[in-house]
Amino acid sequence: MVASEFDGGLPAELPPAGLPGYSARLSRLVDVDGPDGRHTWHIQDNLDELTKMGRTVTGTVLCVHGNPTWSYLWRTVMNAMTQDDAGSPAWRVIAVDQLDMGYSERTGRARTLPERVADLSALTAALDVEGPVVTLGHDWGGVVSLGWAIDHPALLAGVILTNTAVHQPAGRSVPSPLRLALTPAVHTAGTVTTTAFLDTTLSLAHPRLSGEVRRAYRAPYRTAGRRRGIGAFVADIPVETSHPSFPELTRIADGTASLTVPALMLWGPRDPIFSDGYLRDLAERLPQAAIHRFEGAGHLLAEDVDIAGPIRNWLTDLAGDGAAAETPNVLAQAEPATRPDPGAGVEPVGRARVPIWRYLDELAGDDDTALVEMAPTGFTGPRVVSWRRLAEQVTALAAGLAAHGVRAGDRVSLLVKPGADLTAVMYACLRIGAVVVVADAGLGIAGLSRAVKGSGPDHIVAIRSGLTAARALNWPGQRIAVDPLNAPERRLLGVDLTLADVIRDGAGHAVPPAPPASADAAILFTSGSTGPAKGVVYTHARLEAMRDALADRYGIGHGSSLVAGFAPFALLGPALGATSVSPDMDVTKPKTLSAAALADAAAAVDATAVFASPAALANVLDTAPELTADGLETLRAVRLFLSAGAPLSQPLLTAAAGLMPAASIHTPYGMTEALLVTDVDLPQIEDAGVGNGVCVGVPIGPADVRISPLDGAGVPAARLTAEPNVTGEIVVAAPHIKDRYDRLWATQRRSARFPGRHATGDVGHLDGRGRLWVEGRLGHVITSPDGVITPVRPEQLIETVDGVRRAGVAGVGPAGTQQVVAVVETTTPTRRPRMAPPELAAAVRHAVAIPVAAIITVPELPTDVRHNSKVDRARLSAWASGVLAGGRMGRP
């Protein structure tokens, strides 16, 4: 936009009263002497309000919006910080409308990036802003706020960013919405003459903004004259090095990398403008930053999710009042705080470090079988790999990966089926200090894509289907093919290398030094049964502790042989020195493991142990009548059976004991964040009998379990107890639990609120003998008028009713007044969902002895995507709420 398009300025105004969620009483106009004369700003400022409350101000949060929003964007942050809460630090919040934007003065000229940074400095000087200051910016306001931060090091205490950028990464084009807006034929018409640019931005909210909120954002831009700043802001995007604002953007980008203050980045990955590539660039410049990605959120992050809560918590930690602070106590000038160690106080005593690849070194000259893959692609029979061959492959791959630029700390996403290739690549990565990212296709293509993009891999090692997805969904990272590909296939899939290339080029090269125990080793993704799958970071020390816990508890080691029908255990076989076999099954669908496939796998290695998920076990038992005499005999020789991933019923375990009569039947309790927490065997389950929930036994080895009691609203207390029969959130400590969640700062903060421990999100209680009983998930607790109801026990009771195969219990209605709804599968399947017949409904109500608002029969209960066995109660609750509100009774 050229200067002639500005034919004069327009005065600043105060916003109208009644804008939803906006505190008009905090608004005021401020005259500021800036670099080009005096201009009037509209700002929101809560200082007077805090003074009236008698609050002592800790510091100032300076909020800078982008284009084409205004200070309305920060209303939830302003409101959260303007409360009479003596229990938390008081922060002055100044939310500005940049000149020519919002309700600030229209200056009559197009302003450039260096001018906007200078404008903001003039404003803070006029307001007598003193340190400490935390900047908060979004979109191009993020760049301006960083410019101010770099120019005021003496005042700066921290920076907070939401969806912004300071640099255009190499090889990445300017986002298409901005390219379109910059097109001369579109620019003025799209940004000034019409509201197209504004409307497009508002359409990026997830979910859609209400009409009232959209009108509030449009309010200061009601005429073309008031929209000229929008057009000028777009025109000031320095897409070329010749642009007048390019030097200033470069200065800010370089200066950002020099900032050493604490930082917080909150991000919406659905943003079509500032995608995860920009987050990765900022993370490299601000390695000290705490990061939280809100899956499902996009460009207008402050509208999509609650950012005020995380920001308030981070500021509390910054001020040194957080129980699980991950940032330095800058304001109190204390020593920088370190991240709490979830295994603190429970490390094994006197045990020297043994690397995860120990047996690959010790058995490198051994021709005995290390692993067997029963159904490898391209093989006519099982693929058998000796310890010698596996060690050679790992060494060559490790050297080759390093030769092709894979460095310690790089993230390598492994999209490979369990078997020889996955095992070799994983241990090669671990050996050189690369961080393996493991997210299986059982998450579904959308879930897998979220996981891969969210982890930000530097490299992807994948089979053809994984490479096809990577190309189609634009996953980041150098692509390495597991399968041999011809030149056209390589070009089509964007493949840089094949494993054969890597192995060939590793010959004669030395393997880099081994990583320290404290280095990150792996990012494993949760099942996604309670929301988007979360990346769980393990260090080498924690992986090694997991291996040790498994070996110590179950006596698995060199000389053992195991069938890994549960993917995590397939990867631990070489670490244990045990011969492992991957059965012929689709690991993304546990129900595909048949009894015959299990027996064939066990026979291939003379298996002493079997690992299978509950869903896999159920199908094994269903298909057991098809076993041959040899298959039955093979399974009768198994000495240990483990099933984990979801609660198992006693009848199911008893049936497993019938199939494997020599085996000790165990069902450990754990989760991706802590694979082994407690353990219980079949006789102990029989001894425990019926109780409130599922008995999962006593803690394994050094693991320690405590309970955070629930209050009447279903909220866990800020204390821990080991008292018997107290229901609450299960909180664990062990040397083998996660180090942290990846790029989920707010989630990690909550899970580590008890230093040295992991709050699991499960609810349960300890009994008088120290056994843990799991009663459900914290998010599934029902808060009824009569008190808190946990779901597992009612479901168990309903499943005792004749004609009921399986049950799910969910709450509907507002918290504190929720009603119980029971959704059941019947032994004679119903064709469609319907209200239960009167006889069945009466029997269910009699069995549970608590008020049940409705009983609905369905053909099949919804389950999680990975284990195929956990009832998706959150989905049931949403579905039942719709049904009871008069909605269509489709399948849940």
Sign of CA dihedral 603, 608, 613, 617: positive
Q: What is the pLDDT of residue 751?
A: 96
Using an 8 Å Cβ cutoff, are 227 and 6 in contact?
Answer: no
Mean pLDDT by 10 residues, the chain (892 residues): 56 95 96 95 97 94 98 98 86 98 96 97 97 96 98 98 88 63 69 94 96 98 95 89 93 97 97 92 96 96 97 94 38 35 44 89 96 85 95 96 96 92 95 92 81 91 92 90 93 93 89 96 84 92 95 94 79 92 84 92 95 89 95 96 82 93 94 94 93 94 96 94 97 96 96 96 96 94 93 93 93 92 92 93 93 92 64 87 83 83
Q: C-alpha distances in angstroms, 145 versus 142, 148, 279, 301?
A: 5, 5, 16, 17
> Phi/psi of residue 298, each to 5°?
-135, -140
Q: What is the 3-state secondary structure (H, E, C) of 209-261?
A: CCHHHHHHHHHHHCCCHHHHHHHHHHHCCCCCCCCCCHHHHHHHHHHHCCCCC
Nearest-angstrom CA–CA distance, 418 and 562: 14
Helix 614-622 and helix 650-659, axial crossing angle in degrees, nearest 10: 60
Comparing C-alpha atoms, which of 451, 444, 439, 443 is closest to residue 744?
451
Residues with Cβ within 8 Å of residue 734, at least 6 apart in sequence: 342, 343, 346, 545, 549, 674, 676, 677, 699, 700, 701, 702, 703, 704
Nearest-angstrom CA–CA distance, 501 and 489: 15
Please give the class, per CATH, of domain 781-884.
alpha beta
Residue 890: burial class (beta carbons within 10 Å; 0-12, 13-18, 19+): exposed
Task: Give the strand order in the sheet containing 57-64.
Answer: 27-34, 37-45, 90-96, 57-64, 133-138, 156-162, 263-267, 290-293
Using an 8 Å Cβ cutoff, are 271 and 302 in contact?
Answer: no
> Phi/psi of residue 391, each to 5°?
-65, -40
Nearest-angstrom CA–CA distance, 143 and 253: 9
Residues with Cβ within 8 Å of residue 859, at least 6 apart in sequence: 825, 829, 830, 831, 832, 833, 891
Give the CATH fold of the 364-513 domain: Rossmann fold (3.40.50)
What is the SS3 assignment for 826?
Answer: strand
> Phi/psi of residue 153, each to 5°?
-60, -30
Q: What is the pLDDT of residue 829?
A: 87
Please give the class, per CATH, of domain 3-172+241-318.
alpha beta
Instruction: Specify the DSSP class assigned to residue 190.
Output: I
Structure tokens at 731: 């909180």
Using an 8 Å Cβ cutoff, are 624 and 659 in contact?
Answer: yes
Other residues' Cβ atoms within 10 Å of the Cβ of residue 368: 11
Sign of CA dihedral 543, 547, 553, 554: positive
Using an 8 Å Cβ cutoff, are 428 and 459 in contact?
Answer: no
Q: C-alpha distances in angstroms, 583 versus 235, 285, 596, 623?
A: 60, 45, 10, 15
Nearest-angstrom CA–CA distance, 699 and 710: 22
Nearest-angstrom CA–CA distance, 132 and 113: 24
Comparing C-alpha atoms, which of 312, 314, 318, 321 is closest to residue 331?
318
Structure tokens at 521: 């080793």
Helix, strand, coil shares of the chain, percent, nearest 5, are 35, 20, 40
Region of 345 please: left (phi>0), alpha (psi -120 to 50) or beta.
left
Helix 113-126 and helix 246-256, axial crossing angle in degrees, nearest 10: 60
Nearest-angstrom CA–CA distance, 836 and 379: 51
Instruction: Specify the DSSP class assigned to residue 829.
Output: -
Nearest-angstrom CA–CA distance, 134 and 707: 36
Q: What is the pLDDT of residue 335?
A: 30
Q: Which is it for strands 90-96 and 37-45: parallel, antiparallel or unpaired?
A: antiparallel
Comparing C-alpha atoms, which of 168, 180, 26 is closest to residue 92?
26
Q: What is the pLDDT of residue 337?
A: 32
User: Rg of the chain's alpha carbons, rounded to an integer?
Assistant: 30
Please report how many Cα atoms fall inside a 13 Å half-sphere around the Cα of residue 185, on the Cβ side.
0
Dihedral, 311, 312, 317, 322 alpha carbons, nearest 10 = -130
Evaluate if pTM is beyond 0.85: yes
Q: Which is it for strands 90-96 and 740-741: parallel, antiparallel or unpaired?
A: unpaired
* Token pair 């049931």: residue: 876
User: So where are the chain's domains?
Assistant: 3-172+241-318, 364-513, 781-884
Task: Give the strand order in the sheet containing 854-857.
Answer: 804-812, 819-826, 854-857, 834-835
Comparing C-alpha atoms, which of 200, 182, 184, 189 is closest to residue 272?
200
Residues with Cβ within 8 Å of residue 27, at least 6 apart in sequence: 14, 15, 42, 43, 44, 103
Q: How far is CA 668 from the centre of its chain?
A: 24
Q: What is the pLDDT of residue 567?
A: 66
Residue 629: burial class (beta carbons within 10 Å; 0-12, 13-18, 19+): exposed
Residue 251: burial class (beta carbons within 10 Å; 0-12, 13-18, 19+): middle
> Phi/psi of residue 879, each to 5°?
-65, -50
- Asked if the domains at 364-513 and 781-884 fall in one CATH topology, the answer is no
Residues facing residue 4 across a β-bridge: none
Nearest-angstrom CA–CA distance, 91 and 145: 18
Residue 350: burial class (beta carbons within 10 Å; 0-12, 13-18, 19+): exposed
> Phi/psi of residue 598, each to 5°?
-65, -45
